[in-house]
Amino acid sequence: MSRQDQKRNKVTLLDVAKHADVSRATASLVVRKSPLVGAETRERVEAAMRELGYVYNMGAARLRAERSHTIGVVVPNLTNPFFAELLGGMEASVDAAGLVMIIANSGDGPPRQAAVLQRLREHGVDGIILCPAAGTPDDLASKVSDWKLPVVQALRHVTDDIDYAGVDYAAGMEEAVEYLVSLGHQAICFAVHGPVHSAYHERVQGFRESMKRFSLKPDLVIRVPDRVDQIAKEADALFAQGRVPSAVICFNDLVAHGLAAGFYDRGLRIGRDISLIGFDDVADAEAMRPRLTSVSTSPSEIGHNAVALLLERIAQPSLPPRCWISATKLHIRDSCSPLSSS
Amino acid sequence: MSRQDQKRNKVTLLDVAKHADVSRATASLVVRKSPLVGAETRERVEAAMRELGYVYNMGAARLRAERSHTIGVVVPNLTNPFFAELLGGMEASVDAAGLVMIIANSGDGPPRQAAVLQRLREHGVDGIILCPAAGTPDDLASKVSDWKLPVVQALRHVTDDIDYAGVDYAAGMEEAVEYLVSLGHQAICFAVHGPVHSAYHERVQGFRESMKRFSLKPDLVIRVPDRVDQIAKEADALFAQGRVPSAVICFNDLVAHGLAAGFYDRGLRIGRDISLIGFDDVADAEAMRPRLTSVSTSPSEIGHNAVALLLERIAQPSLPPRCWISATKLHIRDSCSPLSSS
């Protein structure tokens, strides 16, 4: 906790009342949202609360007193095993803290996300970990501030004003490109899918910039279907318009799984005729044959970080917003080979 | 609604009072759990409520009045893509009904399950869909009855006194065994994993009985690890003690995915040297190469059924317990071949 925050935590309601030049009783009515206080007085007291940081301490007091020992987690979908691993990491930390976690699926759409957030609030969760749905408006921060409810963004972010636990997607893409370049590859595709959000942009940008750094064509970004069982059929898209990629980096391991099937259907041997790199390094990467080289994003660690941020935010609501970015690590297995051997 | 239920729904508090020989006011105090009523009177009124089915109508009235429009769903784990498909089916139905769903993970353990059920109750969900954790005590029914909260069991069941939406696992195993026998296989293994519960027993029993029906050795039931990335290493267990299975039925598609890797490592070609059948037919089955023949349990349909049962239970709490069992369907793809061609 910073010195400034420590100071804030000592502010009493009496300080607020003095600062606003009202009685303690009047300040108390404002805090309790009483209709008995006139608009002008309310505004003066609220301004004093803001200036002295008193609102936040009230929130902390309320939470300390009325904690439900339940954490809400909002994820955009559950079909990618990545989310199971992320939630597993969260659960271990939540369990260790003696809490219970409830999960809601936003379906990656802002309207449903708004509905599930509203329910979680009504249900009195102590705090929320939110992987913001694609298209979440950037006024999320001011809304959350109105709620007086601790919220942490995970995996994706829409504002710098709320805690964020994520991973350095761009650095992960750089690792993948560098590795393929070290094997002699130049015609490298990036196969993407799914909704567009901060983690999507960071990956695409990371790919393009790394490719440019090696003076390679940065625009081979090809979209494939969302469902793993549909991707194989669309693997041809990688070879459209005369493209002959010798290596493909995948948006995630799900895409790698689907493309592996598509390459099999085309008679392409992974790790020999074509190199393939996944992203996330979920358990399926180890179970693929040939084993999938993949950029590990350590979903379990991100889950752990998100819970740690939330617990600290609950205990100390006045902390400045923080951003914990995990490093990626390329996990080299058997799905890539030097270009010369193809 | 049955005639008997229609009759029950017409019972008024006055009927209860008359039946118990007390005033309507006294009966009302009992319903509202007032401490002003003596134990003996309370018992008499509650007996009358039970006999006339009045408790249930009160529950319905309360629910109609105070619905939170939220459904709680308790699943044992999220790492199997089966659960993502099940939850997807539930969500479609829940969305269509204008409700919101929150999910809790019991970790397949009764203590955590008890904690999450308690939280969901406290949070005022309208009802709960529960896939009971392995080891759930069979007094679940009387507990649920105490809660006055609509509950539906899904996938697994511990009592006949609560609604159940499941699938005919035994018939699914029979389809798999019959198909392999029709291809000439006799040395058929069943590779199982995970915690033991009703759906586990039904599958194992279905396998053993089908094998016996064809006068085949029914005891080749082999356990493999829970995690997909661990299964490959343990595929050797299928060949221990001099066993030479020509075909393997898997507990689910996750096991099939892991064993496929293990067979690849042994140099066994699936659909040629050895036949492999999955169970559940999740999207991954279509994405495997060779494509995985699998017994479809239609998780999305089970999810739909569970929500339909719960919505009817909420609307008509006095319905007798029901049991909706979906049929399985063998989805033949490319992972099995006639024995002679091996």
Find residues 82-101 of chain A whose CB sits inside 8 Å of chain B.
83-85, 87-88, 91, 95, 100-101
Rounded Cα distance, B278 and B330, in Å: 10
How much is the mean pLDDT over chain B? 89
Could B104 and A101 be called an inter-chain contact, meaning their C-beta atoms sit closer than 8 Å?
yes
Among the partner residues A81, A119, A283, nearest to B102 by beta-carbon distance? A119
**φ, ψ for residue B103 (rounded to 5)?**
-115, 140
Q: Does B288 touch chain A (CB under 8 A)?
A: yes
Place of tokens 């009927």: B15
Residue A300: predicted pLDDT: 94
User: Between B336 and A67, whose confidence is greater?
Assistant: B336
Among the partner residues B78, B124, B228, nearest to A287 by beta-carbon distance? B228
The whole-number average pLDDT for the span B176-182 is: 98
Residue B17: predicted pLDDT: 87
Among the partner residues B122, B124, B232, nearest to A287 by beta-carbon distance? B232
Q: Residue A271 region, left (φ>0) first, then alpha (ψ -120 to 50), else beta? A: left
Residue A219: predicted pLDDT: 93
Contact (CB, 8 A) for A93 and A307: yes
Strand partners, B268: none
CA distance readout (Å), A1 to A9, A216, B154: 10, 46, 47
In this predicted structure, the answer to whether residue B303 has a pLDDT above a threshold of 90 is yes
Contacts of A289 in chain B (CB under 8 A): 260-261, 264-265
Q: Mutate one of B100, B108, B226, B296 to test the A interface: name it (highest A CB count within 10 A).
A: B100
Residue B35: predicted pLDDT: 65
Percent of chain B with pLDDT over 70: 92
∠ CA B261-B267-B271, nearest 5°, is 75
The whole-number average pLDDT for the span B31-36 is: 68
Q: Residue B96 region, left (φ>0) first, then alpha (ψ -120 to 50), else beta? A: alpha
Could B261 and A107 be called an inter-chain contact, meaning their C-beta atoms sit closer than 8 Å?
no
Looking at chain B, the domain(s) classified CATH 3.40.50.2300 span: 70-167+300-326, 170-298+330-341
Taking the alpha carbons at both ends of chain B, their separation in whole angstroms is 56
User: Between B311 and A56, whose confidence is greater?
Assistant: B311
Could B229 and A283 be called an inter-chain contact, meaning their C-beta atoms sit closer than 8 Å?
yes
The three-state secondary structure class of A223 is strand
Residue A28: predicted pLDDT: 78
- Return the closest-CA partner of residue B179 out of B58, B53, B278: B278
Kindly state the greatest CA–CA separation across chain A: 82
Q: How far is B176 from chain A (nearest CA, A)?
A: 22
Residue B1: predicted pLDDT: 38
Residue A294: predicted pLDDT: 98
In tens, the pLDDT along A123-140 reads 778 999 999 999 999 888
Rounded Cα distance, B27 and B224, in Å: 58
Q: Mutate one of A102, A282, A291, A294 to test the B interface: name it (highest B CB count within 10 A).
A: A102
Contacts of A229 in chain B (CB under 8 A): 283-284, 286-287
Q: Does B283 touch chain A (CB under 8 A)?
A: yes
Rg of chain B over all Cα atoms, to the nearest angstrom:
24
Could B284 and A257 be called an inter-chain contact, meaning their C-beta atoms sit closer than 8 Å?
yes
In this predicted structure, the answer to whether residue B179 has a pLDDT above a threshold of 50 is yes
Q: How far is B218 from chain A (nearest CA, A)?
A: 29
Which homologous superfamily does the CATH classification assign to the domain defined by A70-167+300-326?
A: Response regulator (3.40.50.2300)
Could A289 and B265 be called an inter-chain contact, meaning their C-beta atoms sit closer than 8 Å?
yes
Q: Which residues of chain A have pLDDT under 50?
A: 1-8, 56-65, 341-342
Rounded Cα distance, B82 and B77, in Å: 10
In this predicted structure, the answer to whether residue B8 has a pLDDT above a threshold of 50 is no
Strands B293-296 and B329-331: antiparallel
User: Between A18 and B35, whose confidence is greater?
Assistant: A18
Identify how many contiguous H helices and E strands chain A contains and give both numbers.
14, 12
The whole-number average pLDDT for the span B93-118 is: 90
- H helices present in B266-321, as ranges: 283-287, 299-315
Place of tokens 């991707």: A231
Element (H, E) at B180: helix B169-182
Strand partners, B249: B190, B277
Q: Which CATH class is domain A3-65?
A: mainly alpha
Strand partners, A154: A165
In this predicted structure, the answer to whether residue B240 has a pLDDT above a threshold of 60 is yes
**φ, ψ for residue B270 (rounded to 5)?**
-70, 135
In tens, the pLDDT along B117-152 reads 988 887 778 999 999 999 999 888 788 878 889 999
Quote the pTM value.
0.80
Could B229 and A286 be called an inter-chain contact, meaning their C-beta atoms sit closer than 8 Å?
yes
Q: Chain A residue with minimal CA distance to B80? A: A81
Rounded Cα distance, A200 and A279, in Å: 12
Among the partner residues A83, A84, A104, nearest to B102 by beta-carbon distance? A104
Could A107 and B91 be called an inter-chain contact, meaning their C-beta atoms sit closer than 8 Å?
yes
The whole-number average pLDDT for the span B10-16 is: 79
Residue B118: predicted pLDDT: 86
In tens, the pLDDT along B67-90 reads 788 899 999 988 888 998 999 999
CATH no. of B170-298+330-341: 3.40.50.2300
Q: How far is A6 from chain B (nearest CA, A)?
A: 34
Residue A10: predicted pLDDT: 63
Q: Does B102 touch chain A (CB under 8 A)?
A: yes
In tens, the pLDDT along B181-217 reads 999 999 999 999 999 999 999 999 999 999 999 999 9
Tell me, what amino acid is at B87?
L
Residue B219, number of CB atoms within 10 A of its CB: 9
Q: How far is A192 from chain B (nearest CA, A)?
A: 17
Contacts of B227 in chain A (CB under 8 A): 283
Among the partner residues A69, A79, A103, nearest to B102 by beta-carbon distance? A103
Q: Does B155 touch chain A (CB under 8 A)?
A: no
Could A78 and B88 be called an inter-chain contact, meaning their C-beta atoms sit closer than 8 Å?
yes
Q: Mutate one of B91, B118, B229, B294 to test the A interface: name it (highest A CB count within 10 A).
A: B229
Could A289 and B123 be called an inter-chain contact, meaning their C-beta atoms sit closer than 8 Å?
no
